[in-house]
Amino acid sequence: MPMTRPLISVSGLYKQYLVNVPVLKDLNFSIESGEFVAIMGHSGSGKSTLMNILGCLDTATAGHYYLQDRDTATLSSDELAMLRNQLIGFVFQGFNLLPRSSLLENIALPLLYAGKSKAERREKALLMLNRVGLAEFGERRPNQLSGGQQQRVAIARALVTDPKLILADEPTGNLDTQTSEDIMKIFQDMNEEQKITIILVTHEPDIAAHAKRMILVRDGQIESDQTT
Amino acid sequence: MIIGALLGEGWAAMLANRMRTLLTMLGMVFGVGAVIMMMAIGQGAELMVNESIASMGSNLFIVLSGSTSAGGIRQGSGTVPTLTLADAQAISELPEIAAVAPNISNAAQLIYAANNWSTQVSGTTPAVIDVRDWQVVAGEAFKDSDIRSATRVLLIGQTVVRNLFGDENPVGKIVRVKNSPFLVVGVLAQKGQSLDGRDQDDTVLVPITTAQRQLFGNQFPGMVRMIMVKAKSAEVMAKAEQEMNELLHTRHRIHADKDNDFTIRNLTAVAQAAASTTEAMSTMLGAIASVSLLVGGIGIMNIMLVSVTERTREIGIRMAIGAKNRDILLQFLFEAVMISLVGSFIGAALGVACAYFYSQINDTLVVVTLSSVLLAFGVAASVGVFFGFYPARKAANLKPIEALRFQ
């Protein structure tokens, strides 16, 4: 048992949408700060639901989810919004960029909700855009970029508030193999260099292979939990 | 969230759907335009009524002498000359009274050179200038000395000037009234129509003594038909009326059980009735126009509801990256208020322009006051907040995951 408490601690977690049809059944696990975890499973296995709960987008029906020692069930929607803003960065399969806003505006948006000044927002957004290698495209709209480029913008947005945890839901699902490798490289780098905890949801074994720990979910339960 | 960013987001959202924003705004444009134009027309009408009231003289009473009663048949007021110059003098000494002008008038034919004209000839005193707020624009008014010596001088109204003299300057000319020569000493300012449509300028004024002794020969010397009385202020009108009543009762020795031989009429009351009628009309016009503001507001609510549904996914993304409920609420509320304010700005300009053209075409008075423009803006902003709030709250209360999954 390490001296510090784990970043994520889940105990007896249940989730059901319909009565008597649980999607998640009695999940128990913890994730330490700095881990790179892949959550695998077929569609319908409940891995996306788990992901949404870990990301504080959804709440559990029963059981406890502690994020940095805070029981998320007791937090108000504003407190959850603050957690998502400051502690968590999301990367989605469909990129989820705002189509009407420029890349810089998209990246700066989390800082706006964090209450940062205009100058600070711009400076930080430029820095992040530069880091994902798209510095010259700052004023473009998302639909003027390729899928891989859009996903890099989404990663820049996720990282702009210096989160402890990145949740990536099928981040390479819409990308070709080469681009997928590039994106996964970025994840690996940030895990190794910045010690950011990464939770990756995927059903592709090659993608999951980049992670150091693999949790296999089947029918709402953990089937295996291996560290490679 | 920061105001500047909210404005930017609102502006971007308005530009994103230009046609829809424009159509939504039209409701506010017409609403605010109608309110401003209607209020301008209403206030113009009020101003015109107030001007004609002012032309009559303010805080005015008319004391009429009594009626004859022969064999049970009673004639109208003024048929028996029960009021005297001495009564007028006594009334003028009351503390609430500013000025008093006795009057005896009749129609007479005026002749100047080849022209003649029948008009109202009123015998009165110089105080009439003060009582009726009537200026002398050329020459000067007759004086108290003219009253004492009953000189044949007259002040001439604009309509009479036009009909007898045309372009000639009447001051110093001799006019014949009932075959007596009268010297024109002054010309009265234009007063226009009275409230009942009478031409107030179709008249000449002569000293009251001259009228009594030389024009309308009367068996009771010193009698007058009516006395015009001006009170010192609107506040003392009631007290002045009561005191005049008591004074005349005493002077005419009327017993408590007998009818008065005089009538006191408060002209201001008539004027106030006319003024409050136009005021009520102008309020009603404004109220009807406000209904269109309400309709415009409902239009905004409708579009905002559509917009919230369309942008559910965007709301989900914003929530995922840390937007609080309040941030989403303010974003949509700002958008609604901005549409409403931009619309009312255009509407205000349109309303002022329409009011101007209306006044040009119909040659009437319209008054656009700052307060009516500010009122329209204030109402428009409140309409934006009121009708924007429900859709904004709907957006803010979405669950992050449901909004994010929305297709």
The answer to whether the Cβ–Cβ distance between B321 and A85 falls below 8 Å is yes
Domain boundaries, chain B: 3-52+273-405, 81-260
pLDDT tens digits, one per residue of A91-130 = 998 899 999 899 999 999 999 999 999 999 999 999 999 9
| Alpha-helical segments (H) within B57-154 | 85-92, 127-131, 144-149
B110 and B119 in contact (C-beta within 8 Å)? Answer: yes
Other beta carbons less than 10 A from residue B19's beta carbon: 7
Which of A23, A48, A97, A100 is the best mutation test for B, with the most CBs of B within 10 A? A100
Assess B324–A contact: CB distance below 8 Å, yes or no. yes
| Chain B hits for A57, Cβ within 8 Å | 319-320, 400-401, 404
Q: Which residue has the higher pLDDT, A31 or B84?
A: A31
CB pairs under 8 A between A and B: 66
Residue A1: pLDDT band by 50, 70, 90 thresholds? very low
| Nearest to B371, CA basis, from B24, B75, B42, B78 | B42
**What are the phi and psi torsion angles at B61 (to 5°)?**
-115, 150
B63/B83 Cα distance (integer angstroms): 9
Give the residue among A4, A2, A34 at the shortest CA–CA distance from A194.
A34
For chain A, what is the mean pLDDT?
A: 91
Q: What predicted TM-score, i.e. pTM, was given to this entire model?
A: 0.72
Query: pLDDT tens across A47-61, in order?
Result: 989 999 999 999 999
Set of chain A residues whose Cβ sits within 8 Å of the Cβ of B327: 113
CB A86 within 8 A of CB A114: yes
Query: How far B1 CA sits from the closest chain A CA (Å)?
Result: 6
Residue of B6, B317, B321 to mutate for A, most A C-beta atoms under 10 A: B321
Residue B317 to residue A98, Cβ atoms within 8 A:
yes
Put simply, the answer to whether B2 touches A157 (Cβ < 8 Å) is no
Spell out which residues of chain B touch residue A55, defining contact as CB-CB under 8 Å. Answer: 320
Amino acid type, A19: V
| Contact status of B17 with chain A (Cβ, < 8 Å) | no
Q: What is the pLDDT of residue B309?
A: 93
Which B-chain residues 368-387 have CB contacts (< 8 A) with chain A? none
Q: CA angle, B70 as apex, B68 and B75 as ends, to 5°?
A: 40
Q: Using a CB-CB distance cutoff of 8 angstroms, which residues of chain A are in contact with residue B320?
A: 55, 57, 84, 90, 96
DSSP of B16-74? HTHHHHHHHHHHHHHHHHHHHHHHHHHHHHHHHHHHHHHHH-SSEEEEEE---EETTEE
| Residue B303, min C-alpha distance to chain A (Å) | 19
Mean pLDDT by 10 residues, chain B (407 residues): 81 89 92 88 83 74 74 63 82 86 86 87 86 84 85 89 86 87 89 77 88 75 82 82 85 78 79 81 84 89 93 94 93 92 92 89 84 84 91 93 87
Of B264, B270, B267, B266, whose CA–CA distance to B83 is shortest? Answer: B264
Q: How far is B389 from chain A (nearest CA, A)?
A: 19
Contacts of A90 in chain B (CB under 8 A): 320-321
Strand partners, A120: none
pLDDT by residue (tens digit) across A69-95? Answer: 899 999 999 999 999 999 999 999 889
Chain B nearest-CA distance from A103, in A, is: 15
> Which residues of A lie inside 8 Å of B (Cβ-Cβ)?
52, 55, 57-58, 77-78, 81-82, 84-86, 90, 96-98, 100-101, 109-110, 112-115, 118, 157, 161
Which chain B residues are within 8 Å of A78, Cβ to Cβ?
A: 324-326
Helix %, strand %, coil % for chain B, to 5? 55, 20, 25
- For residue B322, give how far its alpha carbon lies from the nearest alpha carbon of chain A (Å): 4
Asked if A174 and A8 touch (Cβ cutoff 8 Å), the reply is no
